[in-house]
Amino acid sequence: MTADVSPPARPATLEDVAAVAGVSRATVSRVINGATTVDPALRRVVEEAVATTGYVPNRAARSLVTRRTDSIALVVSERERRPVSEPFIGRMFSDPHFGRVVGGLMDVLRPAGIQMVLMLADDEASRNQLLSYLRQGHVDGVVLISSHADDPLPGLLHDTRLPAVLAGRPRKPSPLTYVEADQRAGAQMAADHLAALGRRRIGTITGPQDMPAGQVRLTGFLDALEQHGIGDVATAEGGFTHSGGASAMRQLLRERPDLDAVFVASDLMALGALPVLLRAGRDVPGDVAVVGFDDSNAAVACDPPLTTVRQPVEEMASEMARLLLKQIGRPGLPEPSVVFHPTLVRRESA
């Protein structure tokens, strides 16, 4: 494809291009950066020189002077892993949800030529390391995915004055822009649907109660059920994991064998709960109706396919990226947060 007449031991620099094109470095720089004040003829010459030299700008040099990096950090903030013995788990990373977020971000970052640096904050030390990294301006902005409600990071992040967007509204009100789905409304949809189905002996498998999504989906569900006159709801915590969903389901079945419906606060947990139900001889949705949350692809793969509350995760992530880019474009002007509305996707499980 490319003629390799002379193996370029040293990558071409602006200087090289300028020499080939017979212009000054400044002119080449202008062409590279799309300045309008360049003679069309010269521009063509420069462009050719760029092509023949195979020139690609050196980011470090550029960044040094522009103080921009064309990269953002994707910060995953997790609660400290309890036993040090335990190998790295990264609940977040192994959750398919994470992949959807990455995908949604990439969709807008890539066309913009912005790189994504993956960073993890899971204890005091890593948080400090992260902050000093951010403060030094190694990235232009940050997207924060936080897994726990009392995460100090949003506050600390705000102090850095760096453009930032949060996935989900932080518990402590914060001036930072966030993007979230209306969790409460979603939980309410699940409750309304179950009630409309005539189910009354209802249980729910919740997420961790130290996570906002875990809390709100539970309270939203209970409140909505109460409005339907249903009060005695069995709950079990499933930790937003697959196996947690399974054991929570077992617990629920033990406590309320007469259950006729269960709202599972994430599809991943529902994936764990469903087989438990089936193995316990319950027909779904005949005996027990099941509603999930997320509309992940697990929902379609389930047998029976899961009725679930859909969060447009990819679109939300893309929106985060867009908001971040905007903020980077005009610093100091925080973008308003945006709330997405979930929808109920009816499949076969309820």
Binding positions for DNA, rule: CB under 7 A: 10-11, 13-15, 23-27, 29-30, 32-33, 37-39, 41-42, 55, 57-58, 61-62, 64-66
Could you say whether residue 209 binds a copy of itself (CB under 8 A)? no
Could you tell me which stretch among 22-30, 60-68, 188-196, 198-206 binds a copy of itself (CB under 8 A)?
60-68
40 vs 113 by CB, closer to a copy of itself = 113
Could you say whether residue 60 binds a copy of itself (CB under 8 A)? yes
Could you tell me which stretch among 111-119, 171-179, 191-199, 214-222 binds a copy of itself (CB under 8 A)?
111-119
22 vs 137 by CB, closer to a copy of itself = 137
CA angle 282, 285, 289 (to 5 degrees): 95
Q: Which residue in the set 45, 119, 225, 291 belongs to the binding site for a copy of itself (CB under 8 A)?
A: 119
Radius of gyration of the chain (CA): 26
Q: Which residue in the set 59, 79, 184, 228 belongs to the binding site for a copy of itself (CB under 8 A)?
A: 59
Evaluate the CA torsion angle 163, 166, 169, 170 in order and state its sign.
Answer: negative
Angle at which helices 25-32 and 40-53 cross, to 10°:
90
**Minimum distance from CB of 146 to a copy of itself (Å)?**
17
Task: Report the amino acid identity of residue 177.
Answer: T
**Cα separation of 263 and 221, whole Å?**
8
Number of neighbours of residue 241 by Cβ within 10 angstroms: 21
Distance, C-alpha 282 to centroid of its chain: 35
Listed in sequence order, the residues at least 6 apart from 247 whose beta carbon sits closer than 8 Å to its beta carbon are: 238, 272
Residue 283: exposure state from Cβ atoms within 10 A (0-12, 13-18, ≥19):
exposed
Q: Which of residues 63-92 bind a copy of itself (CB under 8 A)?
A: 63-64, 69, 71, 74, 87-90, 92
When CB distances are held under 5 to 8 angstroms depending on the partner's kind, the choice from DNA, a copy of itself, none that residue 29 binds is DNA
Residue 339: name the closest of 134, 179, 157 by CA: 179
Output DSSP code: residue 60: H
Could you say whether residue 271 binds a copy of itself (CB under 8 A)? yes
Binding site for a copy of itself (CB under 8 A): 11, 56-61, 63-64, 69, 71, 74, 87-90, 92-96, 98-100, 102-104, 106-107, 110, 115-120, 126, 132-133, 135-138, 241-243, 245-246, 271-272, 274-276, 278-279, 296-298, 300-303, 314
